[in-house]
Amino acid sequence: MAKNCIGVDIGSSAIKVVQLKQSRGGARTQLVNFGIEPVPPEAIVDGSMMNSTDVADAISSIFRQLKIRSKEVAVAVAGHSVIIKKIGVPSMTPDELDEQIHWEAEHHIPFPKSEVEIDYQILDGGGGANQMEVLLVAAKKEIVTDYSDAARQAQLNPCVVDVAAFSLQNCFELAYGKSDETIALLNVGASISSLNVVHAGESQFTRDVTIGGNAFTEEIQKQLNIGYHEAEAYKCGGIAGDEVVPREVDDILLQQAEVMAGEFQRSFDFYLATTSEGQIDKVYLSGGSARVPALCEAIQSRARLPVELLDPFAAIDINESEFDMDYVRSQAPMAAIAVGLALRREGDNL
């Protein structure tokens, strides 16, 4: 069996690296490495790679610090350049589908065929008579190339390119198992939020929205008329806790959390309007912005659903003498996608 890839989640604010070791059959999973490295501002904007050298340098730096020598990595793409849809196609054999999928995709993808990479998975059961249901994934070639090239520039071998929403699902299933409930997985980063509604281990609906923790920082900057770094520090509770955070900051976080919760509610409503399942039972929140308590509370009261922080390490063995457990616990929300990626192996498909 191929070894696990190293999960490298390339974000606009930070690179998250997770290395896992799984026992044969995957019964036990052990944390081998975990690290986070900041990415200079503007190197990635809304998921688009603007400065791959800065990104590659950040990746190299964290690999050096963690002394990782393996080269095989899994990276993820997200945002408007990725489209995931469940489609119905006439029943056919897998070989036929492999030939047909590009034609089928054309009806569902708003980008020219020549500009996208297509992947798909046949779903069990759905579709009705003479029909089958297929999960279609289309990602712009440009974004796939940009993200894998950044890894190559850091002298790594990107053997898997995943979609962030699916990495999130893999992370969730490792941590909590397949749930019979309908779960909304929501990863709120700095500029992109990825939603994946999962029922009984199957993705029902995914959507990425370009909103994230930057919105909090920008609002603090605007209302207090201060610079980015100061606002970012206030948002995170002050630098090393020794800074006095102005009283207004809590109110600004609260207001902005309401706006974001409203945005997420639109996606929940869209899912609910287009499904026969008819409900979401629970929300699991992850990503760096899950650390803003007001956001968790705003989603909870807006959606009238229980919201829990996703703990990516819930089912992972961690040797407490090797890791700084305070660091691991405090940074855990940011690790979700990287953990999902670290479960992938070379040669894996979707």
Ligand X SMILES: Nc1ncnc2c1ncn2[C@@H]1O[C@H](COP(=O)(O)OP(=O)(O)OP(=O)(O)O)[C@@H](O)[C@H]1O
Residue numbers at the binding site for ligand X (CB under 6 A): 11-14, 44, 189-192, 212-214, 232, 235-236, 287-289, 291-292, 334
Smallest distance, ligand X to C-beta of residue 300, A: 17
Burial of 269 (0-12, 13-18, 19+ CB in 10 A): exposed
Count residues near Mg ion (CB under 5 A). 2
SS (H, E, C) 64-104: HHHCCCCCEEEEEECCCCEEEEEEEEECCCHHHHHHHHHHH
Closer of 89 and 165 to Mg ion (Cβ): 165
Is residue 11 within the footprint of Mg ion (CB under 5 A)?
yes
Partner whose footprint covers residue 292, from Mg ion, ligand X, none (CB < 5 to 8 Å by kind): ligand X
Q: Which listed residue (189, 213, 312, 333) binds Mg ion by CB under 5 A?
A: 189
Closer of 165 and 292 to ligand X (Cβ): 292
Partner whose footprint covers residue 14, from ligand X, Mg ion, none (CB < 5 to 8 Å by kind): ligand X
CB 58 within 8 A of CB 37: yes
Smallest distance, ligand X to C-beta of residue 200, A: 27
Partner whose footprint covers residue 235, from Mg ion, ligand X, none (CB < 5 to 8 Å by kind): ligand X
Within 13 Å of residue 323, how many CA atoms lie on the same side as its CB? 22
Within 13 Å of residue 325, how many CA atoms lie on the same side as its CB? 6
3-state secondary structure of 232: helix
Is residue 213 within the footprint of Mg ion (CB under 5 A)?
no
Closer of 52 and 182 to Mg ion (Cβ): 52
Residue 122 structure tokens: 């046949």
Residue 343 structure tokens: 């479960």
Residues at the contact surface with Mg ion, assessed by CB under 5 A: 11, 189
